């Protein structure tokens, strides 16, 4: 699944690069500072965005003021494409976790791009299909495996995404993403620290990614 996701992201960056080379005057890019939102929940996005560099979170604001983490997105991810075609309000906010650079495509230009470029239109279809499949798979994993497995899977996903043993995500965000309580996440983390998989630090730091893989395999083979 990760290889497919990376392949889709890389292909989108390639197609955007080709379009930028052929008509540079029509392409717009902007820098986004940490904490700045390019899409705001409940508002109509003013553009479709392609992440060129950096990491962003897709999140929902809950009624009691808490935040529900939907996804973490990096380079090659497409955002706001559904709202551009439907004119609907954004269901989630998208906020930069670090310095980011994004391409911005106005809704009218996005529709023109889809109509003119069959390869791009097919890619968007594949991206949407993969996203739906990923949400379905995530729900199935949460039902089929214990919480520890889901936490390990997310830790590994973050490590592969950023290549760093120190994760750019909090325990609270992991709890929201997995639909569980912070207390349950703290219990899982204490167990992983006792197994020398995670360091007993305030930030989430992986001691051994090999042990993450080994423990995931044990869960999968039960």
Residue that wins the pLDDT comparison between 97 and 39: 39
Domain limits of the chain? 2-139, 145-220
Most confidently predicted of 11-20, 142-151, 165-174: 11-20
pLDDT for residue 63 is more than 70: no
pLDDT-based confidence at 159, cuts 50/70/90? confident
Q: What is the pLDDT of residue 114?
A: 96
Question: Position of tokens 């023109």?
Answer: 112
Percent of the chain whose predicted confidence (pLDDT) is above 70: 95
CA separation for the pair 16, 56 (Å, rounded): 19
Q: What is the pLDDT at residue 77? A: 97
CATH of domain 145-220: 1.10.10.10
**What is the fold, at CATH topology level, of the domain defined by 2-139?**
Jelly Rolls (2.60.120)
pLDDT of residue 119 exceeding 90, the answer is: yes
> Among 47, 22, 36, 7, which Cα is nearest to 130's?
7
pLDDT in tens, 120-158: 999 999 999 999 888 787 777 666 788 898 899 888 888
Q: Mind listing the pLDDT tens digit for each residue in 65-105?
A: 667 788 889 999 999 999 999 999 999 999 998 999 999 99
Average pLDDT, the chain: 89
Q: Which of 71, 74, 29, 61 is nearest to 47 (CA)?
A: 29
pLDDT at 56: 92
């Amino acid at each position: 699944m990760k290889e497919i996701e990376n392949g889709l992201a890389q292909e989108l960056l390639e197609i955007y690069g080709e379009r930028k080379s052929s008509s540079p005057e029509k392409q717009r890019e902007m820098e986004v500072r940490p904490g700045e939102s390019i899409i705001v929940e409940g508002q109509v996005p003013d553009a479709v965005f392609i992440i060129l560099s950096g990491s962003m979170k897709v999140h929902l604001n809950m009624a009691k003021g808490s935040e529900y983490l939907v996804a973490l997105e990096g380079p090659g991810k497409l955002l706001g494409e559904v709202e551009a075609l439907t004119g609907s309000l954004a269901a989630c906010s998208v906020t930069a976790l670090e310095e980011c650079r994004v391409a911005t495509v106005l809704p009218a230009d996005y529709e023109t791009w889809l109509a003119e470029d069959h390869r791009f239109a097919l890619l968007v279809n594949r991206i949407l299909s993969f996203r739906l499949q990923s949400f379905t798979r995530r729900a199935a994993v949460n039902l089929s495996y214990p919480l520890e497995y889901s936490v390990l899977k997310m830790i590994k996903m973050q490590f592969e995404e950023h290549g760093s043993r120190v994760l750019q995500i909090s325990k609270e965000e992991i709890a929201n993403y997995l639909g569980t309580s912070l207390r349950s996440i703290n219990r899982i983390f204490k167990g992983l620290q006792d197994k020398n998989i995670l360091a007993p630090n305030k930030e989430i730091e992986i001691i051994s990614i090999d042990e993450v893989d080994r423990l995931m395999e044990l869960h999968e083979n039960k």
